[in-house]
Amino acid sequence: MSRLAVNPNRMELLKLKRRAAVAVRGHKLLKDKMDELLKQFLGLVRENRELRAEIEAELAEAYGIFAMARSEMTAQEVEEALEYPVAKLRLTAERRSITGVKVPAFRLTAEGDFDSYGLGLTPASFDDAMRRFNRLVPRLVQLAEVETAVMVMAMEIEKTRRRVNALEYVLIPSLQETISYITMKLDELERFYRTQLMKIKSMQEASSGAL
């Protein structure tokens, strides 16, 4: 904790006192912001965790079905069947704000069917796997959105926390220390003047008495 290198005079003291008042108010505001951010963040994290667990389970299931379906044909036959998909996905990214933090918002539009393959030679479980994958795509995008939001929020919270800490543990204490230092210095100066004055006065009285 260090004292600021300023001249200990009344002018600086006034300035510092104003700065300290601003810092304290700022600290309080930032602290409120962080509380709000944390509240939002925890909500998002919970949502993210649930979504992720859900999607991972569904993905595993879909992959299991697909793995079984694809092992009924040679790799080349699978590739041939899925080579040219018909479905087209359009993804647009926008911004939305959570308590002043900008997070992305994705919008997915799909056109065309997922079945781009012949039905006679591919196994029937193909449809099931593809349907599951097809249903999972929008949810994956949703997961990406939530996950990015969580990341952006975490960064924002980190930044705010650093600011709060800087104010709380560095700026405000050092301002206060400097203020008290200047106050002490000024007090001391005053006492010095006073003793000097008293000394001069007593010397004057002594000399006038002697006269």
Stretch that binds another protein, among 122-130, 154-162, 168-176, 180-188 (CB under 8 A): 122-130
Binding to another protein by residue 155, rule CB under 8 A?
no
Q: Is the CB of residue 104 less than 8 Å from the CB of residue 149? A: yes
User: For residues 71 and 195, which CB has a smaller minimum distance to another protein in the complex?
Assistant: 71
Site for another protein in 78-97 (CB under 8 A): 79-81, 83-86
Binding to another protein by residue 56, rule CB under 8 A?
no
How many whole angstroms separate alpha carbon 55 and alpha carbon 151?
A: 19
* Total of residues contacting another protein (CB under 8 A): 31
Site for another protein in 125-144 (CB under 8 A): 125, 127-128
DSSP letter for 76, please.
Answer: H
CB of 38 to another protein, least distance (A): 39
Residues 6 or more apart whose Cβ sits within 8 Å of residue 181: 3, 8
User: For residues 20 and 129, which CB has a smaller minimum distance to another protein in the complex?
Assistant: 129
DSSP letter for 3, please.
Answer: -
Strands (E), 13-166: 88-98, 101-111
